[in-house]
Amino acid sequence: MNAAQFLETVASLSLQAAIVIVAAGCIRRFGRLTAQAECRLWTCSHAVILTLTAIAATFPHLRLVIPEPLAAARAVSTVQTQLIAGRVLQAVWLTGVAVAGMSLVGGWICAARCLQSCRPIADDLVVSSGVAKVAAIGGRSVQFQTGPHVAGPCCWQFHRPYILLPNAVLGFPAGERQFIVQHELAHLRLGHPLQLFLQRLVEILYWFHPIVWWSARQAALAREFACDAAVVSSRSEIAGYLRTLLSVVEQTQSVGEPCRETIGFGVGSGVIALRARRLVTLAQSGDIGVESWIGRRLRPAAILLCGVACTLAWLPVNDLASSRSWLSPWPTWSAALARDFRVPARDYEAYDPRTQLFELRETAVEEEAATASR
């Protein structure tokens, strides 16, 4: 992919991601969703954004808007500017992706090291925390561990599911421990580690996009709300749960920051305040949103439809694009792959910015000479 195509792809994908997230935001705003439905909505949006990115990197796209051809002299300067902007953007984006990718791998290493220093929690303590003998997620038994580097109650699943509890939490009354363990089990049962992984991939690719940051924050909050709602069912339980939240913050704030890639029980005072406010509303009104069979299917369908429509949202920022074709050229790698399978993938347009720019320069010189001779 050359610099002009890269500029067109990044600008268009940023627009497409924004459309998908705004659509999800509108559904959430007007849909009165349960927290669990909201989690699914954000996960669906992130999956659609990843799919759109893969489609853009693999297939040609339709051009609904083909810019009017500019005068040769003006086209040369515009195209040169676009090529420079594309090259700078390529370097900056790749640097950002590398930094964000390293941060993800760093989080995994941090969690793996923390696990290595952990030891299993005694069975009687686990059972007294309200877990019936062996808790299993997807056929794999959950490992309960504790250790000196566990900064707060959290869960993690790469291959095997883990729930990590700090030593301080093991000394909590059984009722409070039960709330914490049930909250972490709810994360694992609802598939939140996988949802977080998809979200991280979107965050890495779109590290520069404020709307993606916003959606990531909303998704993280929705996951916490969903697990809070899964644990409490009465006013007295909500009161006890709020006390547990405060105890966890009190006991664990001096230990240090938890690993970023684990799903913590109470991360950040701002998040705790929002969760507490939502729990108080829940206790007062009992309103946790509406979840119907139709809504459960319609919402992902609406986001998918939005994603399909987004494949047409391409910004006409590449002045080297041919005005003779409604289809962009195939990306080089997938064109080569298609040719290996005897599919004539580059039939649409022979795309070579150097040749085209050279032709534009020649035309500009000829136009200049014709103007001077008049």
d(C-alpha 97, C-alpha 205), whole Å: 6
Q: Which is nearer to Zn ion, 224 or 319 (CB)?
A: 224
Burial class (CB in 10 A: 0-12, 13-18, 19+), 20: buried
Q: CA 299, 305, 311 angle in degrees (round to 5)? A: 140
| Shortest distance, position 235 Cβ to Zn ion, whole Å | 21
| Shortest distance, position 228 Cβ to Zn ion, whole Å | 8
Which of positions 250-279 make contact with Zn ion (CB under 5 A)? none
Q: Which is nearer to Zn ion, 8 or 224 (CB)?
A: 224
| Shortest distance, position 79 Cβ to Zn ion, whole Å | 51
- The DSSP code sequence of 343-368 is --TT-S----HHHHHHHHHHHHHHHH
Which of positions 111-130 make contact with Zn ion (CB under 5 A)? none
Instruction: Name the residue number minimizing CB distance to Zn ion.
Output: 224
Residue 130 to residues 127, 246, 264, Cα–Cα distance (Å): 6, 20, 19
| Shortest distance, position 21 Cβ to Zn ion, whole Å | 23
| Shortest distance, position 183 Cβ to Zn ion, whole Å | 6
Q: Which is nearer to Zn ion, 38 or 224 (CB)?
A: 224
Which of positions 190-249 make contact with Zn ion (CB under 5 A)? 224
Q: Which is nearer to Zn ion, 83 or 188 (CB)?
A: 188
Q: Which is nearer to Zn ion, 59 or 197 (CB)?
A: 197
| Shortest distance, position 149 Cβ to Zn ion, whole Å | 19
Q: Is the dihedral of CA 337, 342, 346, 348 positive or negative?
A: negative
Q: Which is nearer to Zn ion, 209 or 275 (CB)?
A: 275
Q: What single DSSP character describes residue 326?
A: S
Kindly determine how many residues on this chain lie close enough to bind Zn ion according to the rule CB under 5 A. 1
- Strand 140-141 vs strand 136-137: parallel, antiparallel, or unpaired? antiparallel
* Chain contacts with Zn ion (rule: CB under 5 A): 224
